[in-house]
Copies of this chain bind each other. A is one copy, B any other.
Amino acid sequence: MNKTKVALLGSGFIADIHVESYQRFVPEAEIVAVYTRTAQKAEAFAGKHKIARWFTDLEKAITESGCEVVDICLPNFLHHRAVMIAAKAGKHVIIEKPLSVTLEEADEMIAACKAAKVKLMYAEELCFAPKYERVRRLANEGAFGQIYMLKQAEKHSGPHTDWFYDINQSGGGVMMDMGCHALAWFRWMLGGRPRALSVQAHMQTGLLHKGRTRGEENSVVIVEFEGGAIGVAEDSWAKPGGMDDSIEVYGTGGVCYADLFQGNAALTFSEQGYGYAMEKAGSTKGWTFTIFEEMFNQGYPQELKHFIECVREDKQPVVTGEDGRAVLELIYAAYRSAGTGQKVRLPFHVKVAKPIDLWLG
Q: Which residues of A contact B (CB under 8 A)?
A: 1, 25, 27, 130-131, 133-135, 138, 141-146, 148-149, 198, 200, 202, 204, 206-208, 218, 220, 222, 224, 228, 230, 232, 234, 236, 238-241, 250, 252-258, 263-264, 266-275, 282-293, 296, 340-343
A292 touching B131 by the CB < 8 A rule?
A: yes
**Min C-beta distance of A346 to chain B, whole Å:** 12
A250 touching B254 by the CB < 8 A rule?
A: no
Q: How far is the CA of A341 from the CA of B337 in the complex (A)?
A: 10
From known contacts A220-B230, A289-B287, infer whether A257 and B253 are also in contact, taking CB-CB under 8 Å: no
Besides A135-B290, A202-B224, A207-B252, 8 other CB < 8 A contacts? A130-B296, A138-B268, A236-B250, A240-B252, A253-B271, A254-B271, A340-B343, A341-B343
Give A236's nearest chain B residue, CB to CB.
Answer: B250
**Min C-beta distance of A278 to chain B, whole Å:** 11
From known contacts A1-B1, A341-B343, infer whether A272 and B254 are also in contact, taking CB-CB under 8 Å: yes
Q: How many copies does the complex hold?
A: 4
Give A149's nearest chain B residue, CB to CB.
Answer: B218
**Min C-beta distance of A179 to chain B, whole Å:** 15
Residues of chain B lying within 8 A (CB to CB) of residue A257: 266-267
A-B contact pairs, 6 of them (CB 8 A): A143-B273, A149-B204, A204-B230, A255-B269, A257-B266, A286-B286
B202 touching A200 by the CB < 8 A rule?
A: yes
B287 touching A288 by the CB < 8 A rule?
A: yes
Residues of chain B lying within 8 A (CB to CB) of residue A274: 138, 141-143
Q: How far is the CA of A146 from the CA of B239 in the complex (A)?
A: 12
Residues of chain B lying within 8 A (CB to CB) of residue A283: 285-286
Q: How far is the CA of A277 from the CA of B215 in the complex (A)?
A: 35
Residues of chain B lying within 8 A (CB to CB) of residue A275: 141
Q: How far is the CA of A266 from the CA of B257 in the complex (A)?
A: 6
Q: How far is the CA of A25 from the CA of B198 in the complex (A)?
A: 42
Q: How far is the CA of A206 from the CA of B252 in the complex (A)?
A: 10
A285 touching B286 by the CB < 8 A rule?
A: yes
A252 touching B208 by the CB < 8 A rule?
A: yes
Q: How far is the CA of A171 from the CA of B20 in the complex (A)?
A: 44
B292 touching A130 by the CB < 8 A rule?
A: yes
Q: How far is the CA of A79 from the CA of B124 in the complex (A)?
A: 46
| Interface residue from B145, B228, B232, B286 paired with A287 (Cβ < 8 Å) | B286
From known contacts A130-B293, A146-B207, A290-B138, infer whether A253 and B270 are also in contact, taking CB-CB under 8 Å: yes
A256 touching B252 by the CB < 8 A rule?
A: no
A230 touching B256 by the CB < 8 A rule?
A: no
Residues of chain B lying within 8 A (CB to CB) of residue A290: 134-135, 138, 256
